[in-house]
Amino acid sequence: MGQDVIRGAFSREDRARYRYKVRRCLDVFALMLNDFRFDSDRPMTGLEIELNLIDPDAQPAMRNAEVLADLADPSFQTELGQFNLEINVAPRVIEGDGLDVYEREVLASLVHADERARKSDAQLVLIGILPTLRQEHTVLANLSNNPRYQLLNEQIINARGEDIALDIRGQERLEAESDSIAAESACTSVQFHLQVAPEDFAMHWNASQAIAGVQVAVGANSPYLFGKRLWAETRIALFEQATDTRPEELKAQGVRPRVWFGERWITSIFDLFEENVRYFPPLLPITDDEDPVAVLEAGGVPRLGELRLHNGTIYRWNRPVYDIMNGRPHLRVENRVLPAGPTVVDQVANAAFYFGLVGELVQQDRPIWTQMTFSAAEENFHTAAREGLDAHLWWPDRGEVQVAELVLDELLPLASAGLDRFGVHPATRDRLLGVIEGRCRTGRNGAAWQTDTVNDLQARHHLDRRSALREMLQRYSVGLHVNEPVHTWPV
């Protein structure tokens, strides 16, 4: 959400004032899009990576406050659960060896953080959902000690008016209830940021939506939740359900969910912010003293605090971002579809595939989003989350096609051309896209490795599910620290 909040209760006046301010911010944002100069001369990229902490028995370690205090590094922050951390990687251009630098910097930060975590008898793991996590770990008492999480929980539960129900049907079925949003802490992801000019934003967002299913299929890494084998990327279903503010009646009426794929291709970033204001009541109606109209008229750069806070409580899988850096405003697409892990090199390969593929798709004479219905893109997304690399997705001129075949035949060459447009060194391009190719040729991403390993441990070593998950996670942790791509790991 980008800021700490300390308010505990909101009055009708708070909500009325906030609604007025957020609409005033939206009006100013529209004016800025028409005649304001946004920073886009050398488009920057960024990474945010969410992490888990485990103890020596591979169980969740509720120690993020201790670890952060020992780290004393502002690039590391709390996340929702006490077993979660997040690292914000310094933004950079990816031309030349920029992607290699990302990999080296993240590795160095994680090695340092892991050394500090071990002082608290914990270690770091990059994974979509901790396979040893149990429902008793995801309770209100295990939320991080930050007022914003407690307040967000109160607002979501109050808006819903009843407990949160989880019902995920995959290889097995999970049915559970929670009196808090703590189950969301199971979801750990990596986010890619791509800075774009205002006039180019819609193309980049549309392209990101069109390939979301492919990204998830190739990068799936969350097959287990509370001991059940569910979707290849169970995090998608869990996040959609664990933060749903709608009771069943509002779902039946077609009220939009706050975790949202969307419902249409867009023509401007304004479409998304306008939808936010039109469809979603505020969860955190906190106002500041800025008059954005006065700031704009005085030649300044408005912070648009209310609009940004509201945007931070609507969880689009590709989110629009308005931000200010060194006194200049800029716009970003925040790509949020992928899980963390399995390794740093796997994550940077996912980033290369995303940046390259989007970068090339927006250059095409006949854009992908003019050849695909929005509903087809959304169906691809959920099919990929359920089935991973086994998924068949709909693609223009191909119809239903196996996702690995699609990536190998069409999308990797496009991603390669896109990275060339960014000026990425050929050796870097080939090394990282080779990781994506390797997953597709072997049929093994993080989710497949996890399930294959657990199946082997249960069948050949006669371990029960809980023991197999613990042993698998311990092996996974070894592979993570070696930093070899997951498709090369032995089972």
Q: Above pLDDT 70, what percent of the chain?
A: 98
What pLDDT score was predicted for residue 159? 86
- Please, what's the b/e burial string for 242-278 (b: 16 or more CB within 10 A of its CB; e: otherwise)? bbbbbeeebeeeeebbbbbbbeebbebbbbbbebbbe
Q: How far from 266 is each of 14, 34, 39, 248, 336, CA to CA, in Å?
A: 32, 17, 21, 29, 18
Average pLDDT, the chain: 95
C-alpha of 489 from chain center: 25
pLDDT 10s digits, 346-355: 999 999 999 9
pLDDT 10s digits, 222-243: 999 999 999 999 999 999 999 9
Cβ atoms 316, 301 nearer than 8 A: no
- Mean predicted confidence (pLDDT) in 392-421: 98
Dist CA 107 CA 139 (whole Å): 31
pLDDT 10s digits, 259-286: 999 999 999 999 999 999 999 999 899 9
Q: How far from 90 is each of 46, 64, 192, CA to CA, in Å?
A: 7, 21, 12
93: left (phi over 0), alpha (psi -120 to 50) or beta: beta
Tell me the pTM: 0.96
8 band by pLDDT with thresholds 50, 70 and 90:
low
pLDDT 10s digits, 66-118: 999 999 999 999 999 999 999 999 999 999 999 999 999 999 999 999 999 99
For 135, which DSSP code? G
Q: Which residues pair with 165 in a beta bridge?
A: 177
Dist CA 158 CA 144 (whole Å): 20
Dist CA 37 CA 32 (whole Å): 8
Q: How far from 236 is each of 164, 196, 220, 369, 415, CA to CA, in Å?
A: 16, 26, 10, 22, 24
What pLDDT score was predicted for residue 40? 84
For 346, which DSSP code? H
1 band by pLDDT with thresholds 50, 70 and 90:
very low
pLDDT at residue 2 is higher than 80: no
Q: Above pLDDT 90, what percent of the chain?
A: 91
